[in-house]
Chain A
């Protein structure tokens, strides 16, 4: 099968959806003429022109709010935040308007908007540019939160997100943009295109002894840890990629835990009220009798993101952290 870098897979999703639906447009800082700060949208402006691919000024509250307003009128904006950390300057628009206007109108309107961008640490850009707000937005009813780990998932989930009639906050990762993964040609797919529903987890590695559950880049970290656990400790770990934080595929998580009887949640979030906290609560509530050990979590070390490159590496989840937890269970 052909392989594509994660960013290229996203770009294909945009290109196909721009082709399919004239109401889809892309907007963000440097997405058009500059070809995207991380080159995710490279070439799209040249192909689709000023109307569909729009450079926004550095004005997140303004242009994100504008996108939300336009979505109420039936457009399907795909808004790039150069860093998802910049969501915090657009928070009123993202939390009060996109998330609640449908509710407060008693269902009279909806906001089919995608807000996307990288939400990760590990690039030595300090605390202001390293936020992972999956848990914050996942906490808000009305919003959907997606965090793909692979090129395949990035493309399939993005196409679904754009077609979804609710606001979807799509959290990518600058460290994944260059990673190649298998993405089939449309001609090789039975439906002629790659569509992955939100709310369906993917078992990325079958195992019997412990469930490593994760989202985003931590799925890759979990896979790496699983290989080491098998090679060095004869422990056969299953890796479950939830892919979307909300809606959440609880069934796949619980089935995995019922099989392995042990669970660790791995995420870049900080631990307090992280996604893993929600998942751990669900497991203890719905699979308590199957557990042979407490549900453990691997998160970033609980402090704002460290700048210094070697220390930031230590702060973020890495395979040694996971192995240590698993061995202690």
Chain B
């Protein structure tokens, strides 16, 4: 592919899609990753303080994947993901306020308190959720790509899934359809090594890697180091171009790591991994630290400027907590809103017959 025809194919910084980045764009990506990190740290703090219900699946440690992927999106490129969805949501441009308020279950939340942590949506930003059932989003991702192709639009659907999702039948059915019908979909396996608490080798039968299964569907696949933003962008750009120009799917497997448990409620998060493993990751592979270091070395950002960005991200996260705290809860009347489009819109169809039976 044109994008990686550089003197050294492993010099991802030199890939055209990265070489063309200006300082502002590079700093923007640093800021995005910091915002996701600070948002989730704030969420964790108040989740532990009992302010939120349900589950909280943190993306901390995986930020370069969502930010790198979303940074490649054009007008007709779409995103859909699983329940670890805060990072993708903020990366596509959803506001911290609406996201934090959703975690708090408030009416000002992005889903007006109806979805919670696992179900963030922003169709106006080409972001189709936020899906709670493992691999349930993978046929939907094929459907987004199908719709693009049907409408004759040059675009792609990036469908994110975890390594725990690759053993679900729906994923394999989606791969078959994507390969069979030349769908411009990119399946991005964010491999953090753990299918909830079960490691990859205890949950998946594979020869070399999980992405390799795509061979069986005649789908091109690739492996990506998810800690290096340049690599994420350079390699994913190949997939985007394959989708745009050839209308062919791609499977990429991105090695990443989550600091925390499967969810905050994962009581065994520190039992199936050693403290040394987590510390090593934090010190040597943290995508934010690596990108920051890189930008300082490139002279794109100063340490002071980076600190400022981080401080601003933290302040924004704190403000979103305040916003969420001060927002109202939905009311009982809200329970039957957003069930049926026709009812919500007061159409003849929505006013004919009984729709609710309480």
Q: Which residues of A contact B (CB under 8 A)?
A: 25, 51, 56-57, 59, 61-75, 92-93, 96-97, 101-110, 112, 141-142, 144, 160, 164-166, 197-200, 244, 246-250, 278
Contact = CB atoms under 8 A, between A and B. Distances in A.
B143 interface: yes
Given A97-B136, A197-B348, A61 B169 contact: yes
Given A69-B144, A106-B113, 17 more contacts: A51-B150, A59-B176, A61-B169, A65-B138, A70-B147, A72-B143, A72-B144, A104-B115, A104-B129, A104-B130, A105-B115, A105-B123, A105-B130, A141-B339, A197-B353, A200-B352, A244-B353
Interface of B: 78, 80, 109-115, 119, 121-124, 128-133, 136, 138-144, 146-148, 150-151, 169-170, 173-174, 176-177, 180, 337-342, 344-345, 347-349, 352-357
Contact of B136 (A96, A164, A278): A96
Contact of B121 (A57, A64, A66, A105): A105
Given A65-B138, A72-B140, A57 B355 contact: no
A105 B340 contact: no
Q: Which 8 A-B pairs have the closest CB atoms?
A: A199-B353, A69-B143, A65-B139, A62-B173, A247-B353, A69-B140, A73-B147, A106-B112
Nearest to B146: A70
13 contacts: A59-B177, A65-B140, A73-B78, A96-B133, A101-B129, A104-B114, A105-B130, A109-B128, A142-B339, A160-B349, A198-B349, A198-B353, A278-B357
A104 B133 CA distance: 13
A21 to B, nearest CB: 13
Contact of A199 (B130, B170, B174, B352): B352
B141 A69 contact: yes
A164 B353 CA distance: 14
A66 B177 contact: yes
B92 to A, nearest CB: 13
Given A97-B131, A105-B115, A247-B355, A61 B147 contact: no
Contacts of B176: 57, 59, 62
Given A62-B139, A141-B356, A160-B349, A104 B146 contact: no
A63 B183 CA distance: 13
A56 B142 CA distance: 13
Contacts of B113: 106
Nearest to A89: B169
Contacts of B355: 141, 199, 246-247
A106 B349 contact: no
Contacts of A67: 143
B352 A197 contact: yes
A198 B150 CA distance: 29
A97 B140 contact: yes
B185 to A, nearest CB: 10
Nearest to B78: A73
Contacts of B138: 65
A71 B338 CA distance: 17
B342 A70 contact: no
A96 B115 contact: no
A130 to B, nearest CB: 24
A61 B339 contact: no
A164 B342 CA distance: 8
Contacts of B150: 25, 51, 70, 75
Contacts of B341: 102, 107, 110, 112, 165-166
A109 B173 contact: no
Contact of B337 (A56, A72, A107): A107
Contacts of A97: 131, 136, 140
B179 to A, nearest CB: 11
Contacts of B139: 61-66, 68-69, 93
B239 to A, nearest CB: 19
A5 B343 CA distance: 33
A248 B354 CA distance: 5
A101 B136 CA distance: 12
B177 A103 contact: no
A97 B139 CA distance: 10
B143 A68 contact: yes
A230 to B, nearest CB: 30
A200 B150 CA distance: 34
